[in-house]
Amino acid sequence: MKVLVDTPVWSVALRRKVRTENASTRELASLIRDGRIAMIGSIRQEILSGIKEPSQFEELRDHLRSFSDIPVTSEDHEEAASFYNRCRAKGIQGSNTDFLICAIAARREYSILTTDKDFGHFARILPIALHDTTG
């Protein structure tokens, strides 16, 4: 099964000056080795945004080019809006990108690797699978 890896996991693994090894970054490395990473343009954009040094930006951009973006469709955006509405009706808020991640993962039966606690709230309402890092 493919795994859609959320920005916070990538950020800890690739953007920090002092890289932290934890269950998520170890799992990311394993998923890369196994060829199970799914990438979308919105996550790529979030990872690359805010990098001040052009050389660092180019290095990270070139590294991320190893992962092709899966196509995002109108149906994905419509489902993301539906997910937003469902969660909002239950008092749960999130970003448009987070709901797009949920929609893409749900429609393709991918799991989501994230450290963002909001996804735990989404998972109580939405048909998403959070990727387990415990083995």
* Residue pair 44/66 in contact by the 8 Å Cβ criterion: no
- Are 14 and 44 within 8 A, CB to CB? no
Count structural domains, the chain.
2
**How far is the CA of 101 from the CAs of 66, 80, 109, in angstroms?**
20, 8, 12
Q: What is the DSSP letter of 132?
A: P
Enclosing domain of residue 59: 3-64
Same domain membership, residue 59 and residue 80:
no
Do the domain assignments include residue 87? yes
- Band of residue 15 on the pLDDT scale cut at 50, 70, 90: low
Chain-wide mean pLDDT for the chain? 94
- Judgement on whether residues 56 and 85 belong to the same structural domain of the protein: no
Residues 34 and 58 both lie in one domain: yes
Distances (CA, A) of 71 to 22, 32, 76, 113: 30, 19, 9, 19
Q: Over the stretch 57-95, which tens digit does the pLDDT of each residue have?
A: 999 999 999 999 999 999 999 999 999 999 999 999 999
Q: Which residues contact 106 (CB under 8 A, 6 or more apart)?
A: 79, 83, 126, 127, 128
Residue 100 within a domain: yes
**CA atoms of 75 and 83, how far apart (whole Å):** 12
Say what the pLDDT of residue 110 is: 98
Given a cut of 70, is residue 18 above it in pLDDT? Answer: no
Q: What is the pTM of this model?
A: 0.93
Residues 39, 81, single domain; the answer is no
Q: Are residues 12 and 56 in the same domain?
A: yes
Could you give the percent of the chain with pLDDT greater than 90? 86
Interatomic CA distance for residues 84 and 17, integer angstroms: 34
**Domain match, 60 and 78 both:** no
The answer to whether residue 110 is domain-embedded is: yes
Per-residue pLDDT tens over the stretch 95-112: 999 999 999 999 999 999
Which of the four pLDDT bands, split at 50, 70 and 90, describes residue 21?
confident
Residues 39-63 pLDDT 10s: 999 999 999 998 999 999 999 999 9
Q: What is the structure's pLDDT at 14?
A: 85
Please indicate, yes or no, whether residues 98 and 46 belong to a single structural domain of this protein. Answer: no
**Boundary (domain end) residue, out of 18, 36, 64:** 64
Residues 79, 59 within the same domain: no
- Angle of helix 54-64 relative to helix 41-48, nearest 10 degrees, comes to 150
Confidence (pLDDT) at 60: 93
